[in-house]
Chains A and B, each alone.
Chain A
Amino acid sequence: QKEVEQNSGPLSVPEGAIASLNCTYSDRGSQSFFWYRQYSGKSPELIMFIYSNGDKEDGRFTAQLNKASQYVSLLIRDSQPSDSATYLCAVNPPTGGFKTIFGAGTRLFVKA
């Protein structure tokens, strides 16, 4: 089992719709969770981080964390074509140090 799993996609949504991206992780004691966006040929850029169970909202983005289910999600409201990118889920496991583990990413296409 991979430490951080994501559906590779592609996920295709129409402009203005809600895009839902999901991630599961294997280390139950993991403490911090991140979503990065990566455009083709570019480096990852942080969108959001979340530590506590529940929802965290930032503009059009909402991160959701359920530690009991070992599940993290990212919702993008009012999706725009400029949101088309690969979204990477990242987890810091509680093994000491800060060895961030990334998922393989989900490709999102927002159709105009």
Chain B
Amino acid sequence: DTGVSQNPRHKITKRGQNVTFRCDPISEHNRLYWYRQTLGQGPEFLTYFQNEAQLEKSRLLSDRFSAERPKGSFSTLEIQRTEQGDSAMYLCASSLYPGSAETQYFGPGTRLLVL
């Protein structure tokens, strides 16, 4: 399968715990994006990378959130001291820049539930 993959697909954690999600983009894609989506809303931009460089980060992203893409391939998103409001679907997408219409291809998402 050459699509975007995300692990785990589901995560249940207790408030205050740290969680880490992984995204493996399409192999030739140099841009990687993280979004958060809650029920009834569209995906909300969190951050994006071009290769290993984090080029933009939403001001909505608190200091508890951090993302890395150390070798320009896979990426991790960590949430420290989780809160119930962090419960959402976390989506990863990748694209090839410059390329076809900045088309972003989404992974299946990681659904997080904070109890």
A residues sitting closer than 8 Å to B (CB atoms) are: 4, 8, 32, 42-46, 49, 51, 88, 90, 92, 97-105
Contact B41 A104 (CB under 8 A): yes
A46/B56 contact (C-beta < 8 A), A99-B45, A99-B48 known? no
- Counting CB contacts under 8 A, is B72 at the interface? no
Taking A92-B102, A102-B44, A105-B41 as given, write out 16 further A-B residue pairs in contact, using a Cβ cutoff of 8 Å, ordered by the A residue number: A44-B43, A44-B91, A44-B106, A46-B105, A88-B43, A90-B42, A97-B56, A98-B33, A98-B48, A99-B48, A99-B58, A100-B45, A102-B35, A102-B43, A104-B41, A105-B40
A102-B48 contact in complex given A43-B106, A97-B56, C-beta closer than 8 Å: no
Total A-B residue contacts, Cβ distance less than 8 Å = 54
B residues with CB within 8 A of A: 31, 33, 35, 40-45, 48, 55-56, 58, 91, 95, 97, 101-109
Identity of the chain A residue whose Cβ is nearest the Cβ of B46 in the assembled complex: A99
**Chain B residues whose CB sits within 8 angstroms of the CB of A98 once the complex forms:** 31, 33, 48, 56, 95, 97, 102
Contacts of A43 in B (CB 8 A): 91, 106-109
> In chain A, what residue has the closest Cβ to B92?
A43
Give the contacting residue for B40; candidates A8, A97, A101; CB below 8 A. Answer: A8
A57–B84 Cα distance when bound, in Å, is 43
Residues of the A chain whose Cβ atoms lie less than 8 Å from the Cβ of B108: 42-43
| A residues in contact with B33, CB < 8 Å | 98, 100
Subset of 13 A-B contacts with CB under 8 Å? A4-B42, A43-B107, A43-B109, A88-B42, A97-B48, A98-B33, A98-B56, A98-B97, A100-B33, A100-B45, A104-B40, A105-B41, A105-B42
The residue among A49, A88, A98, A102 with the most chain B CB atoms within 10 A of its own CB is: A98
Contact call B40/A99, Cβ cutoff below 8 A: no
Kindly name the residue among B41, B43, B105 whose own CB sees the greatest number of chain A CB atoms within 10 A: B43
